[in-house]
Amino acid sequence: MEKRSFEQIRDKMLKSAKEGIKSAYSNEEYALIQAINAYLETSKSYNLSYERLSEWYGIYFPEIRLNNPKVLADLALVMNSKDGIDKDEINKIINDEQKSESLYKKAQETIGRSMNENEKKALISFANLSNDMNRSLNELEEYIKLAANEILPNTTYLTDEKIAAEMLAKAGSMERLSSMPASTIQLLGAEKALFKHIKFGSKPPKYGVLFKMAAISNAPRDQRGRIARIYATKISIALKGDYFTKKFIAERLKEDLEKGIKRIKESPPREKKRSDDRPQRHGRPQRQGRQDGMNRGNRRPRQRY
Last residue of a domain, one of 144, 177, 200: 144
pLDDT band at 295 (very low <50, low <70, confident <90, very high): very low
DSSP assignment, residue 275? G
Question: Is residue 10 one of the residues assigned to a domain?
Answer: no
Output the 3-class SS for 73-99: HHHHHHCCCCCCCCHHHHHHHHCCHHH
- 283 in any annotated domain: no
CA dist 220 and 194 (Å) reads 22
- Name the phi and psi angles at 201, rounded to 5: 80, 20
Nearest residue to 161 via CA among 32, 44, 251 = 32
Q: Is residue 287 assigned to a domain?
A: no
Task: Note the pLDDT tens digit of each residue in 2-55.
Answer: 556 878 787 778 777 776 666 656 678 999 999 999 999 999 999 999 999 999
**Backbone φ and ψ of 86, nearest 5°:** -100, 120
Which range of residues forms the domain containing residue 104? Answer: 29-144
CB atoms closer than 10 angstroms to residue 31: 13
Looking at the fold, whether 86 and 116 belong to one and the same domain comes out as yes
pTM for the whole structure: 0.80
Domain presence at residue 13? no
- Shared-domain flag, residues 132 and 158: no
Kindly state the percentage of the chain with pLDDT values over 70.
85
Secondary structure letter of residue 66 according to DSSP:
-
Of 12-16, 182-186, 222-226, give the lowest mean pLDDT range: 12-16
Q: What are the DSSP calls for 203-269, one per residue?
A: PPP--SGGGGSHHHHTS-HHHHHHHHHHHHHHHHHHHHIIIII----HHHHHHHHHHHHHHHHHSPP
The reply to whether 214 falls in a domain is yes
Look at residue 5 and give its three-state secondary structure: helix
3-state secondary structure of 168: helix
**Structural domain count of the chain:** 2
Query: What mean pLDDT value characterizes the chain?
Result: 86
Whether residue 73 contacts residue 53, with contact meaning beta carbons closer than 8 Å, is answered with yes
> What is the Cα–Cα distance from 189 to 179, expressed in whole angstroms?
17
Distance CA 128, CA 126 (A): 5
What is the mean pLDDT of the segment spanning 129-146? 97
Of 101, 118, 144, which closes a domain?
Answer: 144
